[in-house]
Amino acid sequence: VLALATVLVWLAFGPSPALSHALVNAVAVLIIACPCAMGLATPTSIMVGTGRGAELGILFRKGEALQLLRDARVVAVDKTGTVTEGRPLLTDLETAAGFDPAQVLGAVAAVESRSEHPIARAIVDAAAGQGIALPALDRFESVTGMGARAHVDGVPVEVGADRYMQALGLDVGVFAATATRLGGEGKSPMYAAIDGGLAAILAVADPIKPSSRAAIAALHAQGLKVAMITGDNARTAQAIAAQLGIDEVVAEVLPAGKVEAVKRLQAEHGKLAFVGDGINDAPALAQADVGLAIGTGTDVAMESADVVLMSGSLQGVPTAIALSRATIGNIGQNLFWAFAYNTALIPVAAGALYPAFGILLSPVFAAGAMALSSVFVLGNALRLRRFQPAAGGGAG
Distance between CA atoms of 329 and 76, rounded to whole angstroms?
A: 24
For residue 109, the number of C-alpha atoms closer than 13 Å in the C-beta half-sphere is: 24
Contacts with 111 (C-beta within 8 Å, 6 or more apart), sequence order: 137, 140, 148, 149, 150, 152, 157, 159
- Judged on CB neighbours under 10 Å (0-12, 13-18, 19+), 133 is exposed
Taking residue 97's Cβ as centre, other Cβ atoms within 10 Å add up to 5
- Report CA Rg, the chain: 31
Question: Which of the residues 71, 78, 206, 289 is marked catalytic?
Answer: 78
- How far CA 281 is from CA of 133, 145, 207, in Å, comes to 33, 11, 20
End-to-end C-alpha distance for the chain, whole angstroms? 54
Name the phi and psi angles at 141, rounded to 5. -145, 130
Q: Are 86 and 206 in contact (CB under 8 A)?
A: yes
Angle between helices 36-55 and 316-350 (to 10 degrees): 160
Whether 78 is catalytic is yes
Distance between CA atoms of 185 and 195, rounded to whole angstroms?
A: 30
Q: How far is CA 259 from the centre of its chain?
A: 15
Q: Are 83 and 208 in contact (CB under 8 A)?
A: yes
Angle between helices 18-32 and 316-350 (to 10 degrees): 180
Q: How far is CA 187 from the centre of its chain?
A: 26
- How far CA 119 is from CA of 115, 145, 205, 232, 278, in Å, comes to 9, 13, 9, 11, 12
> Which DSSP state fits 170?
-
Distance between CA atoms of 210 and 214, rounded to whole angstroms?
A: 8
Q: Which residues carry out catalysis?
A: 78
